């Protein structure tokens, strides 16, 4: 899934029997709760229902101190606004576009699947939430995202086509990506741990996008599994530049703001530093790779605790969750996830080289494992075939031996019979004389 991107996403969950967007999913989408924490709260909610208590998800979250009362109120307000927006979706009309369906919801806006009439093509259509239209800061950031990304053109970036305003709504249209997010791939993988070769290949393609836009003095600041799309052909597309950093940040008053998703945020972002550059995206990409390989984010806890951990706590050894990971994988992760930006990969070319070496090595291992398995099967089949042939030869030899014995017995009986006849004949002749 993806929050506020121009990508194909799975619809958000709904409360049964209600049109409201799910409270827990909205909390996760806005970085106030982790997916693991939400699962635990749902389990407690189900257990309470079995006991006849029927506790609400909000009550459980507050009791476990996973969110504050104010944060819960914020989610409820967003839930109410999003519900109203969705109910009004049928009334949304934009010149030159036909709204088809809802793709996803996020902090800044809703994303719809639409058709651009003039080009007769499907697009992802992003509309700023009503609640932010009167907020000058968020309105500027929404337009800034469209302006900046609209100038970029790279195969590993989602392309923006158009930006505009229709009545009270701000919108922009972008490339419609037919595929799934890395978040989806993690969820579907065995033990939620992706194959090393595939995970590293996704990182390499994402890094190509970073290497491209860094030359425009742009920092994404929100690289994470839900913002990385994989097309049906395997092409990686990075989207959602809602937290992008550019030369316009000073003009728009964004300096010193903490922007990003807690599970993948770089330490310098978490501390609100102004001198954030592409190395922050390298860190977030490393945190994403860690999640792809281990099946979990690096740190647990509330968003504030997780962000603090990114600034102080060393990277947990990924082999704790996946002992089979090799030293070369861990070494690359450690360097990508250095707390000090100056100790990370300063040269993207070096990171490319290390990632490509990992991909080649682990892809080769997977192929070798397949070939070994194939050889073992063929060897077993050949052994079985040899045993079968050997048994057939033994049976054939036994049959030949039996036939020879039978023939010899017949000859012996013939000789004996001849001898008896000769003896009787001799006896008769002797008596006659």
Using CB atoms within 10 Å of the CB of residue 189, give its burial: 0 to 12 exposed, 13 to 18 middle, 19+ buried.
middle
Q: Which residues pair with 101 in a beta bridge?
A: 113
pLDDT band (50, 70, 90) for residue 422? low
Of residues 162, 222, 249, 281, which has the active-site annotation? 222
How far is residue 159's CA from residue 155's CA, in Å, rounded to a whole number?
8
Task: Give the DSSP letter of residue 88.
Answer: T
Per-residue DSSP letter, 427: H
> Within a domain: residue 271?
yes
pLDDT score, position 208: 97
Q: How confident is the model at residue 30 (pLDDT cuts 50, 70, 90)?
A: confident
Three-class SS string for 192-250?
Answer: HCCCHHHHHHHHHHHHHHHHHHHHHCCECCCCCHHHEEEECCCCEEECCCCCCECCCHH
Q: d(Cα 46, Cα 5) in Å, to the nearest integer?
A: 32
In sequence order, what E strands does 324-413 have?
none
Q: Tell me whether residue 405 is in a domain.
A: no
Mean pLDDT within 265-277? 91
Asked whether residue 149 is domain-assigned, the answer is no
- For range 336-355, the mean pLDDT: 95
Which tens digit of pLDDT belongs to each residue from 228-257? Answer: 999 999 999 998 765 445 444 443 344 444
Distance CA 278, CA 245 (A): 10
pLDDT of res. 394: 63
Q: Which residues contact 354 (CB under 8 A, 6 or more apart)?
A: 332, 335, 345
Is residue 312 classed as helix, strand or coil in its secondary structure?
Answer: helix
CB 245 within 8 Å of CB 219: yes
Please tell me the predicted confidence (pLDDT) of residue 7. Answer: 37
Residue 182 CB burial class (10 angstroms; 0-12, 13-18, ≥19): buried
User: Tell me, what CATH number does 203's domain have?
Assistant: 1.10.510.10
Most confident of 117-121, 414-418, 423-427: 117-121
CB-based contact 37:219 (threshold 8 Å): no
- Residue 14 φ/ψ region, left for φ over 0, alpha for ψ in the -120 to 50 degree band, beta for the rest: beta
Residue 203 maps to a domain: yes
Tell me the two tokens of residue 302. 């509330």
φ/ψ (deg, to 5) at 128: -65, 135
pTM: 0.65
Maximum mean pLDDT: which of 46-60, 133-147, 272-286, 393-407: 272-286
Ranges 121-135, 280-294, 345-359, 400-414: which has the least confidence: 400-414
pLDDT tens-digit readout, 154-174 = 999 998 888 888 887 888 899
Q: Are 9 and 177 in contact (CB under 8 A)?
A: no
Which of 83-92, 135-144, 226-235 is most confident? Answer: 226-235
Contact 174, 161 (CB under 8 A): yes
Q: What local confidence, expressed as pLDDT, does residue 297 receive?
A: 96
Confidence check: pLDDT of 5 > 50: no
Matching residue, tokens 């990992």: 358
Task: Please report the pLDDT score of residue 100 as a whole number.
Answer: 87
Are the CB atoms for 107 and 242 separated by under 8 Å? yes
**Catalytic residue flag (residue 222):** yes
Query: Measured on CA atoms in the order 237, 242, 244, 248, is the torsion positive or negative?
Result: positive
* Structural domain that includes position 203: 180-369
- Specify if 131 maps to a domain: no
pLDDT in tens, 50-76: 888 888 999 999 999 999 998 898 888
Total number of domains constituting the chain: 1
* Contact (Cβ atoms closer than 8 angstroms) between residue 263 and residue 173: no
The 10s digit of each residue's pLDDT in 300-324 is 999 999 999 999 999 999 999 999 9
The 8-class DSSP code of residue 380 comes to H
How high does pLDDT run on average in the chain?
Answer: 80
Q: Which residue has the higher pLDDT, 152 or 423?
A: 152
Confidence of residue 86 (pLDDT cuts 50, 70, 90): low
Is 393 within a domain? no
| pLDDT above 50 for 120 | yes
Instruction: Give me the mean pLDDT over the 333-343 stretch.
Output: 97
> 287 vs 46, which has greater pLDDT?
287
**pLDDT at position 252:** 38
**Residue 228: inside a domain, yes or no?**
yes
In a domain? residue 105: no
pLDDT above 90 for 203:
yes
Residues 146-180: b if buried by 16+ CB within 10 A, e if exposed: bebbeebeeebbbbbbbbeeeeebbbbbbbbbebb
pLDDT at position 373 is: 47
């Amino acid at each position: 899934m993806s929050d506020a991107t121009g990508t194909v996403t799975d619809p958000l969950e709904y409360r049964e029997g209600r049109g409201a967007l799910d409270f827990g999913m909205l909390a996760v989408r806005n970085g106030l709760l982790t997916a693991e924490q939400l699962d635990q709260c749902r389990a407690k909610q189900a257990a309470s229902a079995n006991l006849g208590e029927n506790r609400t998800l909000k009550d459980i979250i507050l009791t476990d101190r996973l969110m504050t009362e104010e944060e819960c109120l914020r989610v409820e307000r967003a839930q109410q606004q999003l519900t109203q927006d969705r109910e009004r979706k049928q009334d949304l009309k934009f010149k030159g576009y036909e709204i088809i369906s809802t793709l996803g919801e996020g902090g800044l806006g809703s994303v719809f699947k639409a058709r651009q009439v003039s080009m007769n093509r499907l697009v992802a259509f992003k509309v700023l939430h009503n609640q932010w239209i009167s907020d000058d800061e968020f309105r500027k950031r929404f337009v800034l995202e469209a302006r900046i990304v609209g100038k970029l053109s790279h195969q590993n970036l989602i392309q923006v086509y158009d930006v505009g305003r229709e009545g009270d709504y701000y919108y922009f249209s972008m490339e419609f990506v037919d595929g799934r997010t890395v978040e989806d791939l993690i969820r579907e993988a065995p033990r939620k741990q992706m194959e090393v070769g595939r995970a590293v290949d996704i990182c390499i393609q994402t890094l190509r996008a970073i290497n491209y836009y860094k030359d425009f003095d742009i920092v994404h600041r929100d690289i994470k599994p839900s913002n990385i799309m994989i097309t049906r052909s395997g092409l990686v597309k990075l989207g959602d530049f809602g937290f992008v950093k550019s030369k316009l940040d000073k003009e728009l008053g964004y300096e010193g703001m903490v922007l990003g998703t807690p599970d993948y945020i770089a330490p310098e972002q978490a501390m609100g530093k102004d001198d954030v550059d592409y190395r922050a995206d390298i860190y977030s990409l490393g945190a994403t790779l860690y999640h792809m390989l281990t099946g979990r984010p690096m740190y647990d806890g509330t968003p504030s605790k997780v962000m603090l951990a990114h600034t102080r706590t060393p990277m947990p050894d990924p082999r704790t969750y996946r002992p089979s990971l090799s030293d070369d994988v861990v070494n690359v992760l450690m360097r990508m996830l250095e707390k000090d930006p100056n100790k990370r990969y300063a040269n993207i070319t070096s990171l490319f080289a290390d990632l490509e070496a990992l991909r080649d090595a682990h892809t080769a291992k997977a192929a070798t494992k397949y070939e070994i398995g194939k050889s073992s099967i063929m060897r077993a089949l050949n052994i079985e075939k040899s045993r079968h042939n050997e048994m057939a030869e033994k049976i054939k030899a036994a049959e030949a031996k039996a036939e020879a014995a039978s023939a010899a017995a017949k000859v012996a009986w013939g000789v004996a019979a001849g001898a008896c006849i000769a003896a009787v004949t001799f006896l008769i002749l002797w008596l006659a004389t």
